[in-house]
A and B are shown apart, each in its own frame.
Chain A
């Protein structure tokens, strides 16, 4: 069984996204530990990319700050090695195809396996292109996470049937970032997913409040939050870990 499934054995899962190296890797390590201590069930570690086309302004900013601080894939790998000494919750990387491709798919993905990364989320790698990395991911036991969007419609079953780890359900059109309201008929999407797979699904994009998280977790197996956490990092910088911890606790408590 995929290690990622463990994240879904403690009630509804709270999944926290953190851009590595924003504002520096020491802060990232502290924030990850604080999120885990306060109930995060799975950590998505963002490896920054110069041109994150699926991100809204908040996470774009985090990518930029991290890159200007000199973060590289190799430095992120070292961070994970260090975190894995005491952090046991599942962790996945969220980055863009070129970061993996340019490093060498086999070199990148075998490193993921070696350092204890359980999955890979690549928002610019749709079902049709997953053969780019899927065979190597399978070889090294790293789950390539599938995304399903409000526009997926006739594609949901096809994607769900081959999904591994968990399914990332994109709550709304557009890029990442906080939204006051999520209008997509997610219940219908989740219904089709459930008919086709027992892989858990979590909803992300636009979730920032405990109320939203509760609503999304009620519909699915968990809630994914990125921009709201990055906002705290943007505001509190190196001192963000206690604020992130308190926030994660409020979110996990809401969906428990």
Chain B
């Protein structure tokens, strides 16, 4: 899907300061070398299986299926990975790559904190220094994850600039990278930013769809009819879609955070409300005003609270291969509660956006159809915030 200049159709590219160009070129060359290196892949496979707990389960959600009365529903349980989310897949890959490149320090941005925790974890495991940039707003929403990162030995820097959320954390991590390159790898957490990040992150997350395909063939002897995942930058979604892109009969559905609704300003649904732009190193769709100023976005989910979307998703949208639907805070919270009560699984509020769409879609499909929902992370981190959303006075 990638051409040599890191383009996905018209999207992607490398819109970054000259100071970083040799760093991304070096990264691309290292990745091109190691991605086909048997020893690298053996080490990564071992980390995935022995450390992160892969393969993750593909669980048949019988009660949810019966309750909704339509398509069979399977849950891809990325929430069961070590550190509780899909983020670890990418981080183990990038940390191993950085180590091979001789880097001793990882920096990262984080929204909900899951990517920061995963990066801090990999840094601890591999004996690397770690600095995580997190919007000040998010350090309050996700205080427990801040503590986790510090416990793992990382330094967490609250970012006060701009809207003090994920986009500002990305900007600050980029600024930090321009000031210290030689020993530092920027462990970007999603399929975004300048080439080669969208490709590298996708490849490390593609383990999700590779496993879904194998597991589905084993359990059902056929491919699913739809794969549903939530989309902020879009790493768990692209990971869930990737090995199905060539299987035209499989619907690929990304769920964006609509916040209080796509007809309000308090939304983060980029494909529904954004337009083509250039930001954070890439050409893609962004929520922005008529003069190209990036819009302050909003979602109850810190992990989806980002004004852009990865360039490969923008391309899959352009060519009609994937569909993108907005899910409101209220719908996501209802799905969060529904999955907890129905299956005894508390999903991350991000993943609950995907669950919410499946709740709408499944009853419209025949009983012999199959939906896979990627549960990208676990919801423990969100319980206090959801309780507050429901009017309970609970703090972590």
Verify if A99 is at the interface (C-beta below 8 Å from B): yes
**Once the chains bind, are B18 and A147 in contact (CB under 8 Å)?**
yes
Q: Which residues of B from 262 to 308 have beta carbons under 8 Å from A?
A: 275-281, 286, 288, 290-294
**Once the chains bind, are B292 and A99 in contact (CB under 8 Å)?**
yes
Verify if A149 is at the interface (C-beta below 8 Å from B): yes
Q: Which residues of B from 27 to 42 have beta carbons under 8 Å from A?
A: none
- Min distance, Cβ A240 to any Cβ of chain B, angstroms: 23
- Min distance, Cβ B202 to any Cβ of chain A, angstroms: 21
Q: Mark A90-119, 1 if CB is under 8 A from B, else 0.
A: 000000111111110000000000000000
Verify if B23 is at the interface (C-beta below 8 Å from A): yes
Verify if B174 is at the interface (C-beta below 8 Å from A): yes
CA–CA, A147 to B14, complex, Å?
15
Q: Which of A57, A124, A170, A173 has the most CB of B within 10 A?
A: A124
Verify if A123 is at the interface (C-beta below 8 Å from B): yes
Identity of the chain A residue whose Cβ is nearest the Cβ of B277 in the assembled complex: A98
Q: Which residues of B contact A210 (CB under 8 A)?
A: none
- Min distance, Cβ B331 to any Cβ of chain A, angstroms: 29
Binds B, one of A125-133, A136-144, A217-225: A125-133
**Once the chains bind, are B179 and A170 in contact (CB under 8 Å)?**
no
**Once the chains bind, are A98 and B288 in contact (CB under 8 Å)?**
yes
Binds B, one of A30-38, A48-56, A79-87, A231-239: A48-56
Q: Mark B350-382, 1 if CB is under 8 A from A, else 0.
A: 000000000000000000000000000000000
**Once the chains bind, are B22 and A155 in contact (CB under 8 Å)?**
yes
CA–CA, A127 to B18, complex, Å?
8
- How many residues on chain A are close to B (CB under 8 Å)? 43
**Once the chains bind, are B178 and A51 in contact (CB under 8 Å)?**
no
**Once the chains bind, are B22 and A152 in contact (CB under 8 Å)?**
yes
**Once the chains bind, are A153 and B168 in contact (CB under 8 Å)?**
no
**Once the chains bind, are A128 and B14 in contact (CB under 8 Å)?**
yes
Q: Which residues of A contact B291 (CB under 8 A)?
A: 72-74, 99, 102-103
CA–CA, A101 to B286, complex, Å?
12
Binding site of B, secondary structure by majority: helix, strand, loop or mixed? mixed
- Min distance, Cβ B64 to any Cβ of chain A, angstroms: 40
CA–CA, A148 to B17, complex, Å?
9
Q: Which residues of A contact B292 (CB under 8 A)?
A: 49, 96, 98-103
Given the interface pairs A98-B277, A98-B286, A170-B18, the reply to whether A67 lies near B293 with Cβ below 8 Å is: yes
Verify if A174 is at the interface (C-beta below 8 Å from B): yes
Q: Which residues of B contact A126 (CB under 8 A)?
A: 14-18, 21
Given the interface pairs A50-B294, A51-B279, A174-B179, the reply to whether A152 lies near B21 with Cβ below 8 Å is: yes
Verify if B167 is at the interface (C-beta below 8 Å from A): yes
CA–CA, A32 to B278, complex, Å?
29
Verify if B175 is at the interface (C-beta below 8 Å from A): yes
Given the interface pairs A126-B21, A129-B14, A151-B23, the reply to whether A175 lies near B278 with Cβ below 8 Å is: no
**Once the chains bind, are B278 and A101 in contact (CB under 8 Å)?**
yes
- Min distance, Cβ B159 to any Cβ of chain A, angstroms: 11
Verify if A60 is at the interface (C-beta below 8 Å from B): yes
Q: Which residues of B contact A129 (CB under 8 A)?
A: 13-15
CA–CA, A51 to B159, complex, Å?
13
CA–CA, A194 to B223, complex, Å?
61
Q: Which residues of A contact B16 (CB under 8 A)?
A: 124, 126
Q: Which residues of A contact B275 (CB under 8 A)?
A: 102
**Once the chains bind, are A173 and B178 in contact (CB under 8 Å)?**
yes
Q: Which of B17, B22, B179, B277 has the most CB of A within 10 A?
A: B17
**Once the chains bind, are A50 and B179 in contact (CB under 8 Å)?**
no
**Once the chains bind, are A125 and B15 in contact (CB under 8 Å)?**
yes
CA–CA, A151 to B179, complex, Å?
11
**Once the chains bind, are A98 and B174 in contact (CB under 8 Å)?**
no
CA–CA, A153 to B19, complex, Å?
10
Verify if B219 is at the interface (C-beta below 8 Å from A): no
Q: Which residues of B contact A97 (CB under 8 A)?
A: 15, 278
**Once the chains bind, are B294 and A152 in contact (CB under 8 Å)?**
no
CA–CA, A149 to B18, complex, Å?
6
CA–CA, A170 to B19, complex, Å?
8
Q: Mark A169-211, 1 if CB is under 8 A from B, else 0.
A: 0100111000000000000000000000000000000000000
Q: Which residues of A contact B2 (CB under 8 A)?
A: none
Identity of the chain B residue whose Cβ is nearest the Cβ of A123 in the assembled complex: B17
**Once the chains bind, are A148 and B18 in contact (CB under 8 Å)?**
yes
CA–CA, A215 to B197, complex, Å?
39
CA–CA, A67 to B16, complex, Å?
23
Q: Which 4 A-B pairs have the closest CB atoms?
A: A102-B292, A174-B179, A149-B19, A98-B292
Residues of B participating in the A interface, judged by any CB pair closer than 8 Å = 5, 13-23, 161-162, 167-168, 171, 174-175, 178-181, 275-281, 286, 288, 290-294
Residues of A participating in the B interface, judged by any CB pair closer than 8 Å = 49-51, 53-54, 56-57, 60, 64, 67, 72-74, 96-103, 123-129, 132, 147-155, 159, 170, 173-175
Please list 27 pairs of residues, one from A and one from B, whose beta carbons are closer than 8 Å in the complex, sorted by A's number: A50-B162, A50-B293, A51-B162, A54-B178, A72-B291, A74-B291, A98-B278, A100-B292, A102-B275, A102-B292, A123-B17, A124-B15, A124-B16, A124-B17, A126-B14, A126-B15, A128-B13, A128-B14, A129-B13, A132-B278, A149-B17, A151-B22, A153-B22, A154-B22, A174-B19, A174-B180, A175-B179
Known: A100-B292, A124-B281, A170-B17. 13 other contacts (CB 8 A): A49-B293, A51-B279, A53-B171, A98-B277, A103-B291, A123-B18, A132-B278, A147-B17, A148-B18, A150-B19, A154-B22, A155-B18, A170-B18
